[in-house]
Amino acid sequence: MTNDEIIKEIVERLKKVPEVKKIIVFGSRARGDYSEESDIDLLVIGDFEGKIVWRRYHLLLNLIDLHEKIDIDIFPLREDELIELVDSGSSFWKEVIHSGSVVYGT
């Protein structure tokens, strides 16, 4: 599978979750400087009200069901949580927003 095919398959699976509103790929896969061993970094923004982060993470990772073949890092956040992280001055999250590629949602 190519990078685009892998990401398309992941998006197809994740968008079945009604809470998922936007998916952003970031890191080496978004920049295009990845290797076969590179992980896939995903920011998943959704209406996860009432679900603690680790439950969101496991729900989405189990749905993808590719994590045994591909190293996938998922960061499931509500939009207000992401805004709070960016507003707190986190250079990591600012870089994700600046350089990430939206693959689902607006």
What is d(CA 98, CA 96) in angstroms, rounded to the nearest whole number?
A: 6
Strand ranges for 27-96 from DSSP E: 40-46, 72-77
How far, CA to CA in Å, does 16 sit from each of 10, 39, 60, 90, 100?
10, 22, 10, 30, 22
CATH number (domain holding residue 77) = 3.30.460.10
Of 49, 103, 56, which is closest to residue 75 (Cα–Cα)?
Answer: 56
* Token code pair at residue 46: 């959704």
Q: How many domains, the chain?
A: 1
Tens digits of per-residue pLDDT, 43-98? 999 998 887 777 887 777 776 776 567 788 889 999 999 999 999 999 999 999 99
**CA 64 – CA 33 distance, rounded (Å):** 23
- pTM, rounded to two decimals: 0.87
- Domain hosting 84: range is 3-104
